[in-house]
Every structure is written in structure tokens, then in C-alpha cells.
Chains A and B, each alone.
Chain A
Amino acid sequence: DVKVTQSSRYLVKRTGEKVFLECVQDMDHENMFWYRQDPGLGLRLIYFSYDVKMKEKGDIPEGYSVSREKKERFSLILESASTNQTSMYLCASSFLTDTQYFGPGTRLTVL
């Protein structure tokens, strides 16, 4: 079974803090994705990566950056967290053009 894990289920941070969200997949997938989920807006793509050290902007990259130093790990970074980044963050991975598999999500609250 494909397994995508995220470092935290719940996270509370203060405005201005640097926040790291980690995602690890165990299926040697090339592609990894970060989405945020907000009520009434569905899932919106923040960044994605097709390979190690490679990244591409999604639909809403402002205020975020990513890092992919190893194939199995894709990190989302909030350089200076703001209250409008309070959201559910979902990571996904896939093999080439195959189905995306999702992690359980991290609910981030920025105070």
C-alpha cells in the first residue's frame, strides 16, 4: 500500500514564525504536491515537484516555498506565517502520470 505521511496532524504557530511542514512517501514516487484546503474553496495547489531539487509553482505559491532534497521527502515552508495561512495542508504523491495519493493532512492555526 502507498503510504504518505505528514509530520504533524495539528500545529499552532504565531504570526511571523517560520513554519516547516514535512511530507514523506514510501513508494519511490517521482511527483509530490502540496495543497491547501479551505471551506468552500476546495483544494488549491501551492507547489509541486517532479524530481529531486525540482519545483514548480502551483496556483497560490505566494507566501510559501518548498524543498525537495530527497526523493521521498517534500517540505513546505512558510517563511513568516500569517493568520491568512491558517488552513488544512495536504500533501500528495504520484508515480509519473498515475493517481495522486494523499497524506492525512496538517491543520495549521496561525495566531
Chain B
Amino acid sequence: GEDVEQSLFLSVREGDSSVINCTYTDSSSTYLYWYKQEPGAGLQLLTYIFSNMDMKQDQRLTVLLNKKDKHLSLRIADTQTGDSAIYFCAESIRGGGNKLTFGTGTQLKVEL
């Protein structure tokens, strides 16, 4: 079955890089997503990666995928206070329009 795990908390200083990790169990995952949830809001898609890719970069965001270890990470460069939020990874075996399995979410706190 599908299971997605994340650590619950991460604290970094403003200006440092943040790395949020995620492990998944379904080897047939074809799409992996990162969503951001700011306080009191819904989820906002940050980025996604296809399982045939190792890396994807989008401005301050870098996604790394290690398919052998079923490990996904999100790196945020030059972390700002506005990056404080909960970050969810999610997997789908048939694309986002079908069922997504979410991790527990990682609460990122950015300190001055």
C-alpha cells in the first residue's frame, strides 16, 4: 500500500537553506508533489516531479528524487520568513487528477 512519511518540524534561520525530506513506499509512483500550506489557508502547489527525473529546479526551489531509496527532498535556498508554513509531499501513481497520498506535513519555522 501507499505510505508517505515526513518529519513533523524543521527550524532554520533566515537566509539559510531548508531541506525538507519525504519517503514513500509505492514503487509505482509516477508523480511526486510538494504543496505549501500557510496558516489558515488551503494547499498551494509548489512544484512536482515525474518519477523519471532526478532533479528539478525552479528559482529558489530544488527537488531531488532518489527513486532507488524512494526519497524525495525539497530544498529552499535563502529561506525567508514568508516561507514559514507546512509543507506536504504527495504521491500519485496515475497523475494528480487521481488519488493523492499525502505525507503528514513538515512545519517549517524560519527564525530571524
A interface list, Cβ under 8 A from B: 4, 9, 30-31, 35, 40-45, 48, 58, 90, 92, 94-105
Contacts and interface: CB of A to CB of B under 8 A. Distances in A.
B96 A90 contact: no
Interface of B: 4, 6, 8, 33, 35, 40-45, 48, 88, 90, 94-100, 102-105
- Give the one of A31, A40, A42, A102 with max B CB within 10 A: A42
Contacts of B105: 42
A7 B102 CA distance: 24
Q: Is the contact region of chain B dominated by helix, strand, or loop, or is it mixed?
A: loop
A97 B100 CA distance: 11
Please give me the 9 A-B residue pairs with the lowest Cβ-Cβ distance, nearest first.
A97-B95, A102-B42, A97-B97, A43-B102, A94-B97, A102-B43, A42-B104, A42-B102, A99-B96
B97 A43 contact: no
Contact of B42 (A4, A30, A42, A94): A4
B91 to A, nearest CB: 12
A102 B44 contact: yes
A41 B104 contact: yes
Given A40-B8, A41-B104, A42-B105, A98 B97 contact: yes
Given A45-B99, A94-B96, A97-B97, A104 B104 contact: no
